[in-house]
Amino acid sequence: MGILIKNGYVIDPSTKKEGVFDILIERDKVSRIAKRIEAKDIDVINAKGKIVCPGLIDLHCHLREPGREDEETIYTGSLSAVSGGFTTICCMPNTSPPLDNKVAIRFVVDRAREAFCEILPVGTITINREGKELAPYGEMVEEGAVAFSDDGDCVMDSLVMRRALEYTKLYKKPIISHSEDKNLSRNGVMNEGVISTKMGLSGIPSEAETIMVHRDIALARMTGGILHLAHLSVAESVDMVREAKRKMDNLTCEVAIHHLVLTEEDVTGYNANAKVSPPLRTKKDISALIKGLKDGTIDCIVTDHAPHTEEEKGAGFDSAPFGMIGFETAFSLALELQEKGLTLMQIIAFFTTGPARILNMDRGSIKEGSQADMVIFDPEREWVYRKEEIRSKSKNSPFIGRKMKGRVLTTIYKGRVVFSLEG
């Protein structure tokens, strides 16, 4: 039995299709798209007044399994993801042990068979994420690794980073770089500035990011390797990427949703749930990031979903780990960017065609013959993000209690409803 979506307003950035259409799903594929479709003995979803778009893709998240199943698992993370409209997510390798070999990658792939969405593992750049010895890229690619990153840590040794870009080029896989000079950010817990000084907290200067962004771009230019810059947070970083892209076609970048809607001021009161890496920056930086989205400098928006237990986050601001959860709020928060001049088509593209293009994968579209991954959402529906309704195993979000507009109602993955707000 298939699914017939009736009267939905379809927005598909991959085909530029926009308008009211019916969509017929048979098995795991989109079989037909037309103004009017009639079918018998089929499940019908009335999407009148709602928007239908491709399933969202998250290029950057943390599922914690193996090793920290108390924070999140592949199963619970995928449940949280689909409730936020995500049908494909890429999990970072800073697990315990890290995803630095074929056995670890195979573990994720095997566990992902129970998940509610597609889980794509990212392997490490170096063994044990120590920044010294290159990981075995070939065998990890064979097991399903789609990219490589030491996320959470920067590869500080420039020669090692050069070799990584050279070798991964052979597999046509991107290096996802966490650009952070650890010598500058050492012991820092928030953005360096007036607020950090007033709060008596060690700061992380913007230069900790920009210095390494400059280096990584230079190495990508030198090697021809595929470089993707993770979670840009600083205006100068955006400027450097913009300039580099004029001469390079092997460079992409992302921004995490929280760096678009929160500033360093949200740390006031020592709110550990707002402690992230890179840290929340300034209003000036947000303006630059949004400009980067508008002009195509930034390729996609990510969640950087990073679960932690309440005990960890409650250990005091200095001691609390970096990171916040993001699957269930990311898209709704992104819809707020329409007030900053982004169109709905553009916002959807940053979660679909953008990441799909970076990974060179056939996802993020609604067309006949494509995998039936899609989201139905109500752009006008107001809702409050409540702790007791969070589907992630962890609850570390600064957005709890926030009123938002725009809500995912239904998520379809491979032709099957994997999330319905109405039950």
Question: Would you state the pLDDT for residue 40?
Answer: 87
Domain-located, residue 129 = yes
pTM for the whole structure = 0.97
Find the helix or strand (DSSP H, E) in which 51 lies: strand 51-54
Asked if residue 171 and residue 42 are part of one domain, the reply reads: no
Displacement of CA 235 from its chain's centroid (Å): 20
Query: How many separate domains does the chain show?
Result: 2
Cα radius of gyration (the chain): 21
Domain-located, residue 106 = yes
Asked if residue 124 and residue 22 are part of one domain, the reply reads: no
Instruction: Name the H helices within 135-206.
Output: 137-143, 158-169, 182-185, 194-199
Is position 181 annotated as part of the catalytic site?
no
CA distance 206 to 236: 9
Q: What is the largest CA-CA distance in the chain?
A: 67
Domain-located, residue 364 = no
CA distance 183 to 421: 46
CATH (domain of 392): 2.30.40.10
Find the helix or strand (DSSP H, E) in which 63 lies: none
Domain-located, residue 176 = yes
Question: Would you state the pLDDT for residue 165?
Answer: 98
Residue 15, CA distances (Å) to 10, 173, 365 in order: 11, 25, 7
Per-residue model confidence as pLDDT tens for the chain (423 residues):
799 999 999 999 999 999 999 999 999 999 999 999 998 889 999 999 999 999 999 999 999 999 999 999 999 999 999 999 999 999 999 999 999 999 999 999 999 999 999 999 999 999 999 999 999 999 999 999 999 999 999 999 999 999 999 999 999 999 999 999 999 999 999 999 999 999 999 999 999 999 999 999 999 999 999 999 999 999 999 999 999 999 999 999 999 999 999 999 999 999 999 999 999 999 999 999 999 999 999 999 999 999 999 999 999 999 999 999 999 999 999 999 999 999 999 999 999 999 999 999 999 999 999 999 999 999 999 999 999 999 999 999 999 999 999 999 999 999 999 999 986
Of residues 304, 318, 362, 378, which has the active-site annotation? 304
Residue 369, CA distances (Å) to 2, 64, 177, 184, 354 in order: 14, 34, 34, 50, 20
Token pair recorded at residue 369: 């013959």
Domain-located, residue 9 = yes
CA distance 43 to 71: 36
Domain-located, residue 179 = yes
**Closest-CA residue to 2 (of 53, 55, 43, 37):** 43
* Residue 242 φ then ψ, to 5°: -55, -50
Annotate 341-389 with DSSP letters as a single string.
T--HHHHHHHTTHHHHHHHT-S-S---TTSB--EEEEEEEEEEE--GGG
Output the CA torsion 350→354→356→357 (10° steps).
180
User: Helix, strand, coil: what percent of the chain each, to 5?
Assistant: 35, 25, 45
Domain of residue 77: give its range.
58-359
Question: Would you state the pLDDT for residue 311?
Answer: 97
**Which residues, 6 or more positions from 413, have their beta carbon under 8 angstroms from its beta carbon?**
55, 82, 87, 116, 117, 118, 372, 373
Domain-located, residue 291 = yes
CATH (domain of 109): 3.20.20.140
Q: Are 123 and 136 in contact (CB under 8 A)?
A: no
